[in-house]
Amino acid sequence: MSAPGAGDVVMDAVTMTYHSQGRPTVAIQNASGTIGRGRFVSILGPSGCGKSTLLDIVAGLTAPTSGQVRIGGERVTAPRRDFAMVFQDDSTLHWRTVLDNVALGLEVAGVPKAERRARAYDMLGLVGLRGFENHRPRQLSGGMRQRVAIARALVMEPAMLLMDEPFGALDQQTRTLVGIELLRIWEETRTSVLFVTHDIREAVTLSDEVWVMSRRPSTILDVVRIDLPRPRDAEVLRGPEFETYVNGLWDVIQAEVASAMREQERAAS
């Protein structure tokens, strides 16, 4: 295995045990992996296996029970300014204009007004929202609001973008379209991305690698490299190789999903 590069994010034997109502829940056990700089990595796995927990640990929002996450050899022990997050929920501030929403992080970082507005304006061009600068989020569709959230994250030029089911609240058609939009944006920026999803097709469409998590106590069951050409245009996404990846991932994941569902049913009965 080659030594990690400067911008690589390394997870080393990450384990997370929660304690609630006097009972331990081992959410993640010994998960290791490297998100190479500029790579798009998705995490797939059964519901409740620990995908969000792993993302939160990489983000420095949750401390693992044991193991560690490092970037450039430096241990992640708290949220990092150079990591940006996009969540499922609409996180836009409805009283601010779209431009001021995108410029929010720059404002907090003390970037002068003219510069932050110029950078936010450029970023709105990248996410296809030029012309909506002065709109309020409520005047936009759900998909457009998620693009505002993506622009707000990317304008900070983060070392890593962490996305937790960012399109989970959107209807299927919008979700597909915003996913394709993210693909186009990512192909221009090549920011390292860690992306949590339930959707196998979405993971294959976007990713360089898909990490499949097992049922609890979860670990990384398989790492599937998606060697489809980029840009991933309609020809690529409708081709037989795409379906081969989708079917292969489903074969890996289905036993885990079925077993996790049985476990949930047992726990509920």
Residues of this chain that bind ligand ATP (CB under 6 A): 18, 20, 25, 27, 45, 47-53
Judged by beta carbon, residue 101 or residue 214, the one nearer ligand ATP is: 214
Q: Are 124 and 151 in contact (CB under 8 A)?
A: yes
Q: Are 213 and 202 in contact (CB under 8 A)?
A: no
- Minimal distance in Å, beta carbon 19 to ligand ATP? 7
Strands (E), the chain: 9-20, 23-35, 40-44, 66-71, 74-75, 83-86, 160-164, 192-196, 209-213, 220-225
Judged by beta carbon, residue 101 or residue 207, the one nearer ligand ATP is: 207
Helices (H) and strands (E) in the chain, counts: 9, 10
Give the span between the Cα atoms of 158 and 9, in whole angstroms. 13
Joined together, the tokens standing for residue 259 give 């077993």
- Minimal distance in Å, beta carbon 43 to ligand ATP? 8
Judged by beta carbon, residue 45 or residue 143, the one nearer ligand ATP is: 45
Judged by beta carbon, residue 181 or residue 199, the one nearer ligand ATP is: 199
Judged by beta carbon, residue 50 or residue 143, the one nearer ligand ATP is: 50
- Minimal distance in Å, beta carbon 188 to ligand ATP? 29
- Minimal distance in Å, beta carbon 143 to ligand ATP? 21
Judged by beta carbon, residue 86 or residue 126, the one nearer ligand ATP is: 86
Judged by beta carbon, residue 18 or residue 121, the one nearer ligand ATP is: 18
Q: Which residues face 223 on adjacent strands? A: 211
- Identify which of 54, 18, 250, 75 has the alpha carbon closest to the alpha carbon of residue 163: 54
- Minimal distance in Å, beta carbon 257 to ligand ATP? 10
Q: Are 209 and 225 in contact (CB under 8 A)?
A: yes
- Positive or negative: CA dihedral 257, 179, 188, 103: negative
- Identify which of 64, 59, 94 has the alpha carbon closest to the alpha carbon of residue 194: 59
3-state secondary structure 128-163: CCCCCCCCCHHHCCHHHHHHHHHHHHHCCCCCEEEE
- Minimal distance in Å, beta carbon 263 to ligand ATP? 10
- Minimal distance in Å, beta carbon 120 to ligand ATP? 31
Q: Are 148 and 98 in contact (CB under 8 A)?
A: yes
